[in-house]
């Protein structure tokens, strides 16, 4: 999905494979609201799929180790974790709190949540998210999106007696239905530099990482690793195509 009026009908966009298409949307509602719009307006028929993966275009990846089996698709890393209990999976989980409207005088929500730059669910999980009524709403303010959608999505899954999961080594086997674990990482976002138990997130651990200008300018290690790995992969592709 492309957001921004200047892109509507653009002939400069790369050609997509037959099983993909561009969907245009005005630049509002953030990720979750745009996903909700696409589903509500039937721009995508989600009923056709066993699993649904939502991803933000700011990510780099997938980063897979050289020993990754050639016949296994990267999406399997996420979807094979979905089962009768786990209904929302992503690269990372954060226990950072959020406040309604971004104002610390308002209601506080602290719940372990799958960070929304890449998330996967199945039909059961999608129904839970849609039934909540707030997760896929269009919010004009980022703070409201974080409160109601990003934290709200995982909160809805947990409230429905399901659980969440991520690719982070530190959190394997954690019972997220146990509220004793809801202040994980001392309530810090693991994405900030060196806030993941003192080390940066490694792209080969979480498969996808966000790469934004301020991270590159600040020389964040996770971003630097992603940029370097990406350069290596591009060089390999160029070499393979020209042999």
Look at the chain and count its residues. 243
Q: What is the rounded CA–CA span in Å between residue 77 and residue 145? A: 27
Q: What is the rounded CA–CA span in Å between residue 192 and residue 182? A: 18
Residue 234, CA atoms < 13 Å, CB-side half-sphere: 8
pLDDT digits (tens, 9 = 90+) for 188-219: 999 888 899 999 999 999 999 988 888 877 88
pLDDT digits (tens, 9 = 90+) for 101-110: 999 999 999 9
Please report which confidence band the pLDDT of residue 25 belongs to, taking 50, 70 and 90 as the band edges: confident
- DSSP classification of residue 225: H
Decide if pLDDT at 145 tops 80: yes
- Helix runs in 85-176, H state only: 123-132, 142-145, 151-159
Decide if pLDDT at 36 tops 70: yes
pTM of the predicted model as reported, rounded to 2 decimal places: 0.92
């Amino acid at each position: 999905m492309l957001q921004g009026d200047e892109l509507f009908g653009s002939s400069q966009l790369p050609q997509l494979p037959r099983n993909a298409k561009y969907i245009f949307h005005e630049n509002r509602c953030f990720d979750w609201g745009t996903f909700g719009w696409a589903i509500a307006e039937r721009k995508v028929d989600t009923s056709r799929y066993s699993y649904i993966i939502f991803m933000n275009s700011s990510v780099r990846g997938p980063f897979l180790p050289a020993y990754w089996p050639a016949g296994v698709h990267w999406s399997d890393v996420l979807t094979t974790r979905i089962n009768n209990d786990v209904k929302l999976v992503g690269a990372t989980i954060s226990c950072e709190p959020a406040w309604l409207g971004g104002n610390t005088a308002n209601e506080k929500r602290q719940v372990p949540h799958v960070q929304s730059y890449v998330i996967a669910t199945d039909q059961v999980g999608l129904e839970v998210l849609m039934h909540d009524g707030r997760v896929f709403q269009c919010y004009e303010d980022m703070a409201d999106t974080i409160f109601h959608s990003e934290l709200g999505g995982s909160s809805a899954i947990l409230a429905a007696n399901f659980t969440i999961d991520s690719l982070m080594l530190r959190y394997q086997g954690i019972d997220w239905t146990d509220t004793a674990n809801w202040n994980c990482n001392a309530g810090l976002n693991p994405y900030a530099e060196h806030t993941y138990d003192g080390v940066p997130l490694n792209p080969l651990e979480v498969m996808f990482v966000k790469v934004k200008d301020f991270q590159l300018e600040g020389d964040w290690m996770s971003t630097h690793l992603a940029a370097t790995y990406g350069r290596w992969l591009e060089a390999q592709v160029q070499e393979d195509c020209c042999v």
